[in-house]
Each structure stands twice: as structure tokens, then as C-alpha cells.
């Protein structure tokens, strides 16, 4: 039996590999299954007809294995395991062994608004430019390379297999342990939605790994949550066969009778030698060359076809072909429909129709809502520009957009209100602590706000946050606008806290007493938890931050974070700031975290360690506050210079020894604009029936530009 098992060798690691092994065993065919990890062995279905080999194999290992009586080698590894596939093919060179490549099916229709990338690094760089928490569902293999492109890794969550190797790779990539979701799929749409909401995910990253990889469920969850879905394309276009075709071929090779799912088995005479699956188009153009095709991007509104504009309806009736999500196509009347809305698929289908001799000059692509309001239309246009050269032999594309009725414009019309003077915010699937904090601040400053939600629970969260912030507002909530079950209610914040349920919600919030935005640092000392950890006092803190000349989008370092007062004061000024605080003392680290949690800030990253070693792997700063250097000021400045850019630096000094060291800065050629100010302050303190001024230590503030001068900051 052991020798017979070596005749058929199956490299697994995917759902397809496990399914094929089960079919072979059901047909009485002995075989060897090779899996890379111990966890893969656990998932493999056990049978007396199956011999499992666990462990990663080199090309040499494979050559020895194939030389031991192998007649057929099946590669059912993951589409992204390109190195394994290359080793298998190289090890088979010169051997008379049948090779089968089993590939999982690519989805024929992708979700609306999905953006595709050719490499993990390119995708990660795009994530870094986006706001909010990111969920990687791409496994641990490329995690380190992807995380190098992410400046703030504290906002990265990863979903990986529950194996020790995967978790170790996550930790090595700099992922926080409480952001590692070690779970075994498959994951339903509901499960993906729950994770998106639980962790406040605003961007989801997946791979183009096919239906059994759960991609459809991820894309659908992103669409319902209103968040972007970024997808990494398969690294190469491959030819392969399905599980069914592979089982048929091995049965014919071994003379076995296939017994699994006989009713579903295709006619052997009609089974092709290879069922082709590939990415991209390999078609030679045979139709009319380079004809003009206009793609009309139409927003169909909130759902009811009665909301489609007359102009959009005109093009729907006139268009030669119509593309869009299935649920959108069902609600419209047009000549010919295809359930595609990813740019590549639409362009490929258009070229195919032209090849067949079809007259295509006007094409419609449907999008929900308004094409200019959180829409997939922008992604389509981007994809069209990127692939224009590929389809140049078939057509020259022109794009026109047609607006739809958004839920904000619909609710404002229902209420007889204008939204031209309103803040428009979205918590649709992105109801994280940071998003809530930002929304509360903006609503408290505005006279009127419109907010989008993906569930009633999100409405309740915002209502509770507004009430706790003491924001005296009125709220009107619209649910499932345009649908038969449409409901609009006006209620108090307390009542809104009890709203729940699924569906699209939109709220108008009116504020009779807008607070206006604070323009300067404002926190007083008693706002912070103190304990015995030293703290930079309010007057010094405020002046230091003013001297840092912070701008929106800056990266700031706080060396010697202490209680966190300087970091928190700066972070409160704008959520576009990224603050990195460095603290080496355990007691101070604990207190710092409590203060950050107390203020609900997510744009602060606390690095436990000593500067400058703790700077490693972090983005270059625009501004640096040094409240404590532990006697290593020169080392810290030298490390900052190695970033190779200019930055604004502010240093506080209390002791004469530190002051003497600061006086020598003027001799450094890398230091320009040196200024020193001494501040002595005191506060009145009751002493019986009288008050006396209690004077604090005199503090010297030193500010300068370190490194080459940045003209843009002048």
C-alpha cells in the first residue's frame, strides 16, 4: 500500500487540495498528500488510503520524492504560492511523470468599488494613504513586506490561520498581539461584517484567491459596510483544471471508478484535457478595430427605480449593453445585461462582444447612490485609465457620469432642509473610537450635520458619545429611505441610544449652540491622571507646542513621554497628526496608556523603550519635543539627523547641566534658527486668610531647526 500511495502525489494546502484528496479516497485511490505545516496536517481528512507528509519541501526533496515511483503529481497549492509551484515544475523536468495543476475558480463578478493591485507592496502603500483601521485577510506570508509600507502599524489588524508560525510572523511584522485575529475559515458575509464593525475597520485587504478563498463574502461585506476593498491580483496567469476534472483524469490513469458525486460528474467524452482559468485577457482582437465606445456611469440612487433621473433612464434605454451588480440590474430596463462592475471585466466583455461582431457604441455601468458620493465610479475610471492601452485594439473609451439621488439629499428633501451649510460625515461601517471622537468634535462645532450609518447600532453609538460629550443637539433619523419600509423619526439622544437593526440609516443633527473649534492648546493640568510621574505643566506645554509649529499631517516625536500630557495636547489639535511617544519607565508607560484611553485618542503610538534605539522602523518626524533625554541628547540628535531631512525641535531644560549642553548647540552646522527662552511661572495658593504665589522651577525652552532646511515649512 505504501508503494501505491507514492504513485499519486498531491501537494495540498487549499480547500481544493482537501476536496480532491477526499474524492480520490472515495474512489479507492491510494495517494500521498504533502502539506507545508502542522496545521495543514490537522485540517487534512484522514483515511487509510491517504499518507500525509508534513513539512516544507525544497526542490531536492521533491526530486527524491518523485523518483520513488511517482506516476502523477498534482499541484493544488494556493495561487499565490508561486515558489512552491516553481519548485514542483523544476523537480519534474526530465521525468516521465504526469503533472496536473488544480486552480481554484476566479470569481466571474466582483464587488462594486474593489480596487486591484499587482503586488502586496503596492497594495500596502495604498493602505498607508488611507485613514482608519486596516484589516489584512491575506495571510502571514507577505505580511512583513506589506507592513514595511505602513507608517502607523497600530491601526493594522490581521486575520491569519491559528498556527504558531502565523502568529510569530505577525508579531515579527510589528502587529500588536490584540490585533491578531487567529481563526480558521471559511468566513460568511455575516462574520466579515461583524469583524468590520467590531474592530472599526475602514479598509479591507484580500487576495484574488477565488471563490473558495471567501473573496465574494469579503467583497460583499465591504460593499454593505461602505468601506473600500483592496485586492491583490494573482501573481501570474496560469492554466489549470478543476477538482472534478483532476479527479476524472486520475481515475482514468489508475483505472479506478470515480464514486464521489456521480450525478454531478460530467460526460467523460466532453471533459476537456484542461479547463482554462486565467487572469487578464489573452484574446486576439478580431472585431472592428478601435471604435469609439462611451461608458455612461449612472447612479441609480437609493434603491427604488423611480429615483433614477430622466437623463439616466434615457441612456439606459438607448445603451447597447448594461453592466452592474445583479441587484441593480434587476431594477432597471435595458437591452442586454451583464452582472459585472469591475473595470477589467467590463472592458474584457466589451472587447469580446466587439470580437463577435456586435455593434457596441453606448454602454451603461450602474452604481448605487450618487456617482460622486462614496461611489465605485471613481474606481472604475481609474481602472479604465490603467488598462486603456490593453484594449486599444478594440475601442477608444469615453466616460460620462450621471448623478443619482444620495440618501443625504433625499433626507434633506424629506425634511425641507438644506445641506449646503452642513457637515457631511460617514460612519458607514467605520464606527471606530477615533471615527466617533472625530464625528463628535465636528458635530459639536457645526450648526447642522448629516451622518451616514450602516446599522442602527452605529446610530446608538454616536448618540451615546454625543450625550457624554454634553453636546446639546436634536437628531432626526431616516431608515431605508426610498424602500417600502422607509421610516423617519425625530427623537432625543437618549432615545436614539436604543435604535438597533440592520439597513441603511441617515441622520440629520441640528446643533443650536455650536462650540467652534479651539485654535490653540487648551488642556489644563487637572485634566490628566498624574500619580508620581513628572508632567510638563500647562504653560510650558502650551508654549512648547506653539514653538513646534505643527501642521496638519505632521509626524511628531515626544521623547520622554511621561504622563503623556504633551503628546495628548498635540494629538487633540488634529486627528491628521501622527504622534509617536517614547518612554522607558514602566510606571510612566502604564500611566501614559491610561491617559490616552481617557481622552479616546487613536493618533498616538506609545513606544516602550529608550531613545534613540526606539526610533528604529518609524517614519521620519516633522517635529520633535524632547522633555527628557536621560543624558543622551547628542545620541538622540545624531539619530534624528540620520533621517536625512529637516525637522523642528523643542527641548525643555531645568538643570544647569542640561542648559550648558544646549548652549553648545549653536556650534553645530546642522542647527539653524536657535532660540532660547526662560519661563518662570507661579500660581496663587491659599495660605490661611491670604494667598501667596507658589513659584515653579524656571524652565528654559530651546527651539531650532535640525538638518537641512525644508523650504516648504518656511
Strand, coil or helix: 116: strand
Q: CB of 533 within 8 A of CB of 562?
A: yes
Q: How many Cβ atoms from other residues are within 10 Å of residue 96's Cβ?
A: 7
pLDDT tier at 212, thresholds 50, 70, 90: low
Strand, coil or helix: 664: helix
Position 449 scores a pLDDT of 95
Residues 429 and 431: their CA atoms lie apart, in Å, by 6
With both helix axes pointing from N to C terminus, report the angle between 189-198 and 215-225 in degrees, rounded to the nearest 10: 50
Q: CB of 443 within 8 A of CB of 473?
A: yes
Ramachandran sector of residue 688 (left: φ over 0; alpha: ψ -120 to 50; beta: rest): left
E strand or H helix that includes residue 408: helix 407-415
Residue corresponding to grid cell 526533496 = 61
Identity of the highest mean pLDDT range in 79-83, 162-166, 558-562, 658-662: 558-562
Does the pLDDT value for residue 262 go beyond 50?
A: no
**3-class SS letters over 264-332:** HCCCHHHCCCCCCCCCCCCCCCCCCCCEEEEEEEEECECCCHHHCCHHHHHHHHHCCEEECCHHHHCCC
Per-residue pLDDT of 514-551, as tens digits, reads 876 665 666 666 666 666 666 667 888 889 999 999 98
Q: What percent of the chain has a predicted confidence (pLDDT) above 70?
A: 88
How much is the average pLDDT of 367-377? 83
Instruction: List 51's β-bridge partners, or say none.
Output: 32
Q: CB of 451 within 8 A of CB of 462?
A: yes
Terminal C-alpha separation, the chain? 79
With both helix axes pointing from N to C terminus, report the angle between 59-66 and 82-92 in degrees, rounded to the nearest 10: 40
Instruction: List 273's β-bridge partners, or say none.
Output: none
Q: What percent of the chain has a predicted confidence (pLDDT) above 90?
A: 27
Residue corresponding to grid cell 472585431 = 287
| Full DSSP string of 215-260 | HHHHHHHHHHHT--EEEEPPSS----B-HHHHHHHHHHHHTPPP-S
Q: How many Cβ atoms from other residues are within 10 Å of residue 68's Cβ?
A: 11
Q: CB of 438 within 8 A of CB of 574?
A: no
Half-sphere exposure of 543 (CA within 13 A, CB side): 18
Comparing CA positions, the residue from 227, 221, 153 lying closest to residue 187 is 221
Sheet holding 98-101, edge to edge: 50-54, 31-35, 8-11, 72-75, 98-101
Does the pLDDT value for residue 217 go beyond 80?
A: yes
E strand or H helix that includes residue 423: strand 423-426
How much is the average pLDDT of 159-172? 85
How much is the average pLDDT of 476-499? 90
Does the pLDDT value for residue 626 go beyond 80?
A: yes
Half-sphere exposure of 440 (CA within 13 A, CB side): 26
Q: CB of 50 within 8 A of CB of 44?
A: yes
Per-residue pLDDT of 222-261, as tens digits, reads 888 888 899 888 766 567 788 888 888 888 888 776 554 4
Distance of CA 709 to the CA centre of its chain: 35
Q: CB of 210 within 8 A of CB of 107?
A: yes
Strand, coil or helix: 431: coil
Residues 94 and 97: their CA atoms lie apart, in Å, by 9
Position 427 scores a pLDDT of 86
With both helix axes pointing from N to C terminus, report the angle between 243-254 and 15-26 in degrees, rounded to the nearest 10: 30
Comparing CA positions, the residue from 18, 60, 49, 59 lying closest to residue 35 is 18
Per-residue pLDDT of 636-657, as tens digits, reads 999 999 999 899 999 998 888 8
Strand, coil or helix: 69: coil
Position 418 scores a pLDDT of 92
Per-residue pLDDT of 106-142, as tens digits, reads 554 445 568 888 888 889 988 988 888 999 998 887 8
Give the least confident one: 276-280, 478-482, 614-618, 696-700. Answer: 276-280
Comparing CA positions, the residue from 86, 437, 428 lying closest to residue 235 is 86
Does the pLDDT value for residue 714 go beyond 50?
A: no
Residue scoring higher pLDDT (613 or 244): 613
Residues 278 and 239: their CA atoms lie apart, in Å, by 6
Position 45 scores a pLDDT of 75
Burial-class residue 536 by CB neighbours within 10 Å (0-12, 13-18, 19+). Answer: buried
Pairing, β 156-160 against β 180-182: parallel
Position 286 scores a pLDDT of 43
Q: CB of 317 within 8 A of CB of 420?
A: no
Cis peptide before 186 (omega within 30 of 0): yes
Per-residue pLDDT of 5-39, as tens digits, reads 778 999 987 778 888 998 888 888 899 999 887 76
Comparing CA positions, the residue from 220, 219, 225 lying closest to residue 197 is 225
Residue corresponding to grid cell 535640525 = 706
Q: Which three cell numbers stand for residue 466?
A: 454625543
Position 283 scores a pLDDT of 42
Helix and strand totals (H; E) in the chain: 24, 30
Per-residue pLDDT of 309-351, as tens digits, reads 888 889 998 999 999 887 788 778 888 888 888 888 898 889 8
Burial 311-342 (b: 16+ CB within 10 A, else e): ebbebbeebbbbbbbeebbebbebeebbebbb
Instruction: List 705's β-bridge partners, or say none.
Output: 648, 672
Q: Which positions ≥6 away from 5 have C-beta within 8 Å?
A: 30, 31, 32, 49, 50, 51
E strand or H helix that includes residue 569: helix 565-571
Per-residue pLDDT of 182-201, as tens digits, reads 887 778 888 898 899 889 89
Half-sphere exposure of 242 (CA within 13 A, CB side): 12
Position 372 scores a pLDDT of 85
Strand, coil or helix: 16: helix
Residues 252 and 568: their CA atoms lie apart, in Å, by 70
pLDDT tier at 365, thresholds 50, 70, 90: very high
Does the pLDDT value for residue 580 go beyond 80?
A: yes
pLDDT tier at 711, thresholds 50, 70, 90: very low
Alpha-carbon distances, residue 261 vs 28, 246, 272, 523 (angstroms): 14, 14, 19, 70
Distance of CA 612 to the CA centre of its chain: 30
Does the pLDDT value for residue 264 go beyond 90?
A: no
Comparing CA positions, the residue from 127, 22, 134, 37 lying closest to residue 81 is 37
Amino acid at each position: 500500500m505504501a508503494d501505491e500511495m507514492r504513485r499519486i502525489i498531491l501537494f495540498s494546502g487549499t480547500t481544493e487540495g482537501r476536496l480532491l484528496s477526499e474524492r480520490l479516497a472515495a474512489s479507492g485511490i491510494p495517494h500521498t498528500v504533502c502539506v507545508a505545516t502542522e496545521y495543514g496536517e490537522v485540517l487534512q481528512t484522514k483515511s487509510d488510503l491517504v499518507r500525509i507528509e508534513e513539512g516544507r519541501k525544497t526542490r531536492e526533496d521533491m526530486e527524491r520524492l518523485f523518483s520513488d515511483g511517482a506516476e502523477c503529481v498534482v499541484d493544488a497549492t494556493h495561487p499565490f504560492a508561486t515558489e512552491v509551484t516553481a519548485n514542483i515544475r523544476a523537480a519534474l523536468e526530465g521525468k516521465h511523470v504526469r503533472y496536473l495543476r488544480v486552480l481554484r475558480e476566479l470569481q466571474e463578478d466582483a464587488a462594486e468599488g474593489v480596487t486591484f493591485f499587482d503586488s502586496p507592496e503596492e497594495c500596502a502603500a495604498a493602505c498607508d494613504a488611507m485613514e482608519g483601521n486596516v484589516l489584512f485577510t491575506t495571510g502571514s506570508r507577505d505580511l512583513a513586506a506589506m507592513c514595511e509600507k505602513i507608517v502607523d502599524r497600530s491601526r493594522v489588524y490581521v486575520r491569519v490561520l491559528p498556527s504558531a508560525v502565523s502568529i510569530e510572523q505577525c508579531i515579527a511584522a510589528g502587529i500588536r498581539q490584540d490585533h491578531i485575529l487567529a481563526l480558521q475559515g471559511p468566513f460568511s458575509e455575516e462574520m466579515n461584517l461583524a469583524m468590520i464593525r467590531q474592530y472599526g475597520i475602514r479598509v479591507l485587504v484580500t487576495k484574488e484567491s477565488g471563490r473558495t478563498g471567501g473573496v465574494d463574502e469579503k467583497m460583499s461585506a465591504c460593499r454593505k459596510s461602505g468601506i473600500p476593498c483592496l485586492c491583490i491580483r494573482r501573481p501570474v496567469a496560469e492554466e489549470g483544471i478543476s477538482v472534478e476534472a483532476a479527479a476524472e483524469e486520475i481515475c482514468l490513469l489508475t483505472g479506478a471508478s470515480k464514486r464521489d458525486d456521480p450525478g454531478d460528474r460530467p460526460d467523460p467524452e466532453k471533459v476537456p484535457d484542461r479547463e482554462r482559468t486565467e487572469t487578464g485577457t489573452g484574446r486576439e482582437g478580431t472585431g472592428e478595430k478601435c471604435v469609439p465606445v462611451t461608458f455612461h456611469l449612472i447612479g441609480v440612487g437609493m434603491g427604488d427605480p423611480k429615483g433614477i433621473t430622466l437623463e439616466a433612464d434615457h441612456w439606459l434605454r438607448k445603451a447597447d449593453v448594461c453592466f452592474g451588480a445583479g441587484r441593480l440590474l434587476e431594477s432597471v430596463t435595458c437591452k442586454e445585461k451583464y452582472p459585472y462592475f469591475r473595470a477589467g471585466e467590463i472592458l474584457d466583455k466589451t472587447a469580446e462582444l466587439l470580437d463577435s461582431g456586435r455593434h457596441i457604441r453606448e454602454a451603461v455601468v450602474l452604481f448605487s447612490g450618487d456617482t460622486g458620493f462614496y461611489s465605485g465610479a471613481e474606481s472604475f475610471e481609474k481602472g479604465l485609465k490603467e488598462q486603456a492601452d490593453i484594449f486599444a485594439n478594440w475601442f477608444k473609451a469615453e466616460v460620462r457620469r450621471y448623478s443619482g439621488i444620495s440618501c443625504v439629499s433625499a433626507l434633506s428633501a424629506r425634511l425641507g432642509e438644506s445641506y449646503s451649510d452642513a457637515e457631511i460625515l460617514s460612519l458607514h461601517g467605520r464606527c471606530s473610537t477615533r471615527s466617533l471622537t472625530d464625528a463628535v468634535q465636528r458635530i459639536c462645532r457645526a450648526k447642522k450635520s448629516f451622518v451616514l450609518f450602516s446599522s442602527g447600532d452605529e446610530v446608538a453609538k454616536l448618540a451615546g458619545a454625543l450625550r457624554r460629550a454634553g453636546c446639546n443637539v436634536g437628531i432626526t433619523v431616516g431608515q431605508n429611505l426610498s424602500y417600502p419600509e422607509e421610516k423617519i423619526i425625530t427623537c432625543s439622544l437618549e432615545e436614539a441610544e436604543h435604535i438597533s437593526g440592520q439597513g441603511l440609516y441617515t441622520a440629520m443633527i441640528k446643533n443650536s449652540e455650536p462650540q467652534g473649534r479651539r485654535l490653540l492648546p487648551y488642556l489644563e493640568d487637572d485634566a490628566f491622571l498624574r500619580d508620581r510621574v513628572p508632567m510638563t505643566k500647562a504653560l510650558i506645554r502650551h508654549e512648547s507646542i506653539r514653538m513646534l509649529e505643527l501642521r496638519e499631517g505632521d509626524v511628531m516625536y515626544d521623547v520622554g513621554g511621561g504622563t503623556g500630557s504633551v503628546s495628548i495636547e498635540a494629538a487633540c489639535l488634529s486627528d491628521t497628526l501622527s504622534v509617536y511617544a517614547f518612554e522607558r519607565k514602566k510606571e510612566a508607560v502604564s500611566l501614559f496608556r491610561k491617559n490616552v484611553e481617557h481622552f479616546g485618542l487613536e493618533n498616538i503610538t506609545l513606544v516602550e523603550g529608550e531613545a534613540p534605539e526606539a526610533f528604529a522602523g518609524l517614519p521620519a518626524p516633522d517635529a520633535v519635543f524632547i522633555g527628557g533625554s536621560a543624558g543622551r541628547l547628542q545620541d538622540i540628535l545624531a539619530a534624528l539627523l540620520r533621517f536625512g531631512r529637516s525637522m523642528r525641535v523643542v527641548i525643555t531644560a531645568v538643570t544647569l547641566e542640561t542648559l550648558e549642553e544646549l548652549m553648545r548647540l549653536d556650534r553645530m552646522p546642522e542647527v539653524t534658527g536657535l532660540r532660547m527662552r526662560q519661563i518662570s511661572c507661579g500660581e496663587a495658593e491659599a495660605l490661611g486668610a491670604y494667598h501667596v504665589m507658589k513659584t515653579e522651577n524656571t524652565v528654559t525652552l530651546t527651539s531650532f531647526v535640525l538638518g537641512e532646511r525644508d523650504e516648504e515649512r518656511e
